[in-house]
């Protein structure tokens, strides 16, 4: 059975890229994993939904959401504030 979401990404080791992937049925877990990939600077190759590559508009939306989650997390860490305050002051939290 195919997982609903499948992310393919590469990790650079020396001069070579090593392909990795993650599969999940949960769209929120997919966005959280994308957030971790963005934070670590890995190269996201493609996002598949039920075995078919997402259209660029949809994959961009998922990556934009993940970037917002990452920004919110970093702001909370750096300013030592709660997510509620971050949302009020900066508007990133979901």
pLDDT of residue 2: 73
Q: Is the pLDDT of residue 94 over 60?
A: no
In a domain, 57, yes or no: yes
Please tell me the pTM assigned to this model.
Answer: 0.87
* pLDDT single digits (tens) 38-80: 999 999 999 999 999 999 999 999 999 999 999 999 999 999 9
Report if residue 84 sits inside a domain. yes
94 assigned to some structural domain: no
Domain count, the chain: 1
Task: Kindly state the greatest CA–CA separation across the chain.
Answer: 44
Q: What is the pLDDT of residues 20-47, one digit of tens each?
A: 999 999 999 999 999 999 999 999 999 9
Q: 50 lies in which domain range?
A: 5-89
**Does the pLDDT value for residue 85 go beyond 70?**
yes
């Amino acid at each position: 059975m195919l997982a609903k979401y499948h992310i393919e990404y590469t990790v650079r080791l020396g001069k070579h890229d090593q392909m990795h992937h993650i599969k999940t049925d949960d769209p929120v877990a997919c966005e959280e994993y994308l957030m971790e990939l963005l934070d670590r600077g890995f190269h996201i190759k493609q996002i598949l939904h039920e075995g078919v590559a997402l259209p660029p508009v949809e994959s961009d939306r998922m990556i934009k959401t993940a970037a917002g989650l990452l920004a919110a997390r970093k702001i909370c860490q750096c300013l030592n504030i709660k997510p509620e305050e971050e949302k009020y002051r900066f508007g990133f939290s979901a």
